[in-house]
Structure 1
């Protein structure tokens, strides 16, 4: 587990950029936090870093899912805030994601569909900034986090 203090939106986007460097095909990153905690800001930094360009990265609150063609594999960005039932993730293309990487806001709403092998990122407002807690689950994440944040 790692705890990081993020003083600004720029720091939150930068953390996303650092996670982009660790991202591999088949990875799942579950983003937890209240409204306004910085989940979409982190995703924006991750996707822009991964693509190597300024890319519009809207919150998929209404579309529920957005896909980006990354270098080598697609990246799926799910926002499950408005999901009524966990099984509804199947209608969003959930089964199409194993060939890419998956970023999930409000992951608890995926229920039993949320894979065990994932990186959980908990974001919370802390003073004037944010705090991020990174909790690796499954194979490989702890080693990657240790290398990146040593």
Structure 2
């Protein structure tokens, strides 16, 4: 994936959507993206917008908070959207198909800290910081 690393300031949902469009325009099968930040920072919003850009705006994108995983069909692969907030042990990730997901699919992983050691070296990490009610600072880096 070729998205510029560095810092982005998002002033509103439109800015967040525009960043999601930029990300989705550069995603290809095999890409792994992680999203870190406090509750309410906008991780799920960004993931939802990326999935809608890739799969169509009418796609029903639900948060995987309770299931831990939602899978969407896209082109010749799947998009695995993980929310690992409730994950307690790294072994649980294997029950959620992480090995298959990391092969030739797209992975969007919220709360990746517990599984950081098993993520591929080409992972793109998005760290979202709340500045105020609508304003966010997003740091993008390669793992």
TM-score, normalised to structure 1, is 0.86
User: Pairwise mapping of residues 1-150 of structure 1 onto structure 2 (< 5 A)?
Assistant: 1-97=5-101, 98-127=103-132, 128-137=134-143
Structure 2: state its 5+ residue gaps. none
Structure 1: state its 5+ residue gaps. 138-150
Deviation, structure 1 residue 16: 1.4
Q: CA RMSD in A?
A: 1.3
Deviation, structure 1 residue 76: 0.3
Partner of 1:140: none
Q: How many residues were matched structurally?
A: 137
Deviation, structure 1 residue 131: 1.1
Give per-residue Cα distances to partners, 1:63-93, cap 9 Å, x unaligned.
0000000123211000000001012100001
Please state which structure has a larger fraction of its residues in helix.
1
Partner of 1:148: none
TM-score, normalised to structure 2, is 0.90
